[in-house]
A and B are shown apart, each in its own frame.
Chain A
Amino acid sequence: MSGNSSSFWQRFCFVASKYGKLCLGLGIVLIMTLASLGAPFLTTCPPEELHLDHILEAPSENFLLGTDRLGRDVFSRLLYGGRVSLWVGFVAVGISVSIGTVLGLVSGYFRGIIDELIMRFVDVMLCFPSFFLILAVIAFWEPDLTNIMLVIGLTSWMGVTRLVRAETLSLRERDFVASARLCGTPTRSILWRHILPNALGPVLISATLGVAGAILIESSLSFLGLGVQPPVASWGNMLMEGKNVLETAPWLSLYPGLAILCTVLGYNVLGESLRDLFDPRQKDRLF
Chain B
Amino acid sequence: MMSHAPLLLRIFRKCLWILIVLWGITVISFLVIHLAPGSPTDMDVTLNPLAGEAARARLEALYGLDRSLFEQYMSWLDRLLHLDFGNSMSADARPVMTKILERLPLTVSMNVISLLLTLLIAIPCGILSACRQNTWPDHIITLLVFLGFAMPSFWLALLLMGFFGIDLHLLPLSGLTSMGYETFTPWEKFLDLARHLTLPILVYTIGSLAGMSRYMRSCMLDVLGQDYMLTARAKGLSGYTVIMRHGLRNALLPVITLLGLSVPGLIGGSVIIESIFALPGLGNLFYSAVMARDYTMIMGNLVLGSVLTLFGNILADICYGLADPRIRLRADAKTG
Contact = CB atoms under 8 A, between A and B. Distances in A.
A133 interface: yes
A49 interface: no
B174 to A, nearest CB: 10
B152 A243 contact: no
Contact of A257 (B159, B161, B269): B159
Contacts of B214: 286
B272 A129 contact: no
Given A129-B302, A132-B286, A136-B298, A121 B272 contact: no
Nearest to A217: B268
Contacts of A220: 152-154, 272
A246 B166 contact: yes
A221 to B, nearest CB: 10
A248 to B, nearest CB: 10
Contact of B154 (A135, A223, A264): A223
Interface residues of B, number: 56
Contacts of A223: 152, 154, 272
Nearest to B23: A124
A224 B275 contact: yes
Q: Do most interface residues of chain B lie in helix, strand or loop, or is the interface mixed?
A: helix
Contacts of B293: 139-140
Q: Do most interface residues of chain A lie in helix, strand or loop, or is the interface mixed?
A: helix
Contacts of B158: 239, 242-243, 246, 253, 257
Interface residues of A, number: 47
Interface stretch (B30-38, B48-56, B244-252, B318-326): B30-38
Interface string A256-277: 1100111111001100000000
B24 interface: yes
Given A127-B309, A132-B301, A136-B298, A261 B166 contact: no
Interface of B: 17, 20-21, 24-25, 28-29, 32-33, 36-38, 145-147, 149-155, 158-159, 161-162, 166, 211, 214-215, 217-218, 221, 263-265, 267-269, 271-272, 275-276, 286-287, 290-291, 293, 298, 301-302, 305-306, 309-310, 313
